[in-house]
Structure 1
């Protein structure tokens, strides 16, 4: 499996090896804004089931807000409809984009069609600024 990339740092957005489905999102010049409850799904196909699993690297940051109680976004990752992880992302001290790496167990993947969904949890969370998502076999980091 070759790495699969969805890059939202340009106005048109670029993707390789995937179909991208956006829900509760808005395009900005250099990122994709995910509101609370918003999500991005990447549909992709692999010939062989990746037994070692998948590495999901996300470059994102919460939008900086004036409200101290809303400085965290809650990122959720699901694969083929099953939750993998949920991680808080802080905007403190500044809302600088950073890479987050999530490990997807091989048992959640299958040969053929797969979907990875990245979401900003429902609730009082700020907008999540999403710049890039990279899917790669776990052995490639």
Structure 2
């Protein structure tokens, strides 16, 4: 089931853009999904609210989504620790996906698990694990 910021499907406040990247997180705890979204929200405008992902108690795997406007390349992101691994799917224009991928690779250890390219869009599947440097989220 796809969960947006309020538990339903997210509605983007951004117009369709080559810089808009849809991010789908799964196979992880709600806390790790929140950590990844917080890193992305710190560097890119998003349609996600501040509500943290939470478990619904439903029997199928949880999936969380968000749209991020990757219209610039952010500065290096400090390493962030995760409790487990996170599967992340990125879909959007090639340049925007590359920017978001670079931000994630700066904050986490990233393993590419697959890529599919279309006419004007690319989809990348990643596995994120905690950085070998940095601090747990919230330790500033």
TM-score by length of 1: 0.35
Which has the larger strand fraction? 1
**Which structure is higher in RCO with an 8 Å CA cutoff and minimum separation 6?**
1
Which has the larger helix fraction? 2
TM-score by length of 2: 0.35
